[in-house]
Chains A and B, each alone.
Chain A
């Protein structure tokens, strides 16, 4: 596993269970609406959760530069 992948995994490990579930389901091909139905939140909340996860990854990568 590359260092970058290890860093990605570290970010994911630090997510809340709900944010991890949203990400895992998105990676399985669920739509935001479907994830919202499963997790019990709005479609906008799912998108917001994933956007925040991506932001964390961007911040982490910026620190590495």
Chain B
């Protein structure tokens, strides 16, 4: 039996390998074990790369590696410049299905030390724009927003991020921010389970807004609601 190479196993682990390879991995304990080792190592290296951010003390060559991601992300703008922009009020579930941290609980969400949204690194924002085929995203026009916000257990995985326009239509980033605050308050007041709040946001946030604010249109007060920072 011919086993898969390391690079083929890595592709399989990210769901980008061939069907033939997937069938082999499913039937081959040795390949599965090797794949597990590779994934663990990749995870460790990724943590090391992320932890050595631009502000961390590091040798110039290492900082260059991290900056390379930003530079390459800029190149990405050029590569996708010819694609049509497709901003939308609602995230596309194919690109943004939502991702939550399973260890987050109501107690941690509602504690004084609860997670709050942090800025999305430029390279990761580029992943999101790329997925949505948005060429040349204009500064301050979008919020690279969490579908499920960290305040409700959402992660910064690209699967949980989408480019939400501030200005396109009435169902914009400011309005969603108001819904997020409302749902978090309900979770912390024990009026709603955390998992329900996460589901409401990841399934159809506009429908959820209409139900929780009892309106078919965004409330006037929410048009100027500001919680998260725009992408720039």
Contact = CB atoms under 8 A, between A and B. Distances in A.
A57 to B, nearest CB: 6
B182 to A, nearest CB: 29
Given A21-B72, A27-B45, A28-B124, A33 B65 contact: no
Contacts of A38: 72-73, 75-76, 79
B45 A57 contact: yes
A51 B65 contact: no
Contact of A32 (B10, B44, B64, B65): B10
Contacts of B66: 24
A37 B127 CA distance: 11
Contacts of A37: 76, 79, 130
Contact of A47 (B11, B48, B79, B127): B11
B49 A24 contact: yes
Interface string B8-30: 11110010100000000000000
B41 A54 contact: yes
Contacts, number: 111
B16 A8 contact: no
Contacts of B38: 51, 54
Contacts of A9: 48, 52, 58-59, 62
Nearest to B79: A37
Interface string A15-43: 10100110111111111111001110001
A31 B11 CA distance: 9
A48 B17 CA distance: 13
A3 interface: no
A20 B65 contact: yes
B121 interface: yes
A5 B11 CA distance: 25
Interface of A: 5, 8-9, 12-13, 15, 17, 20-21, 23-34, 37-39, 43-44, 47-48, 50-51, 53-55, 57-58
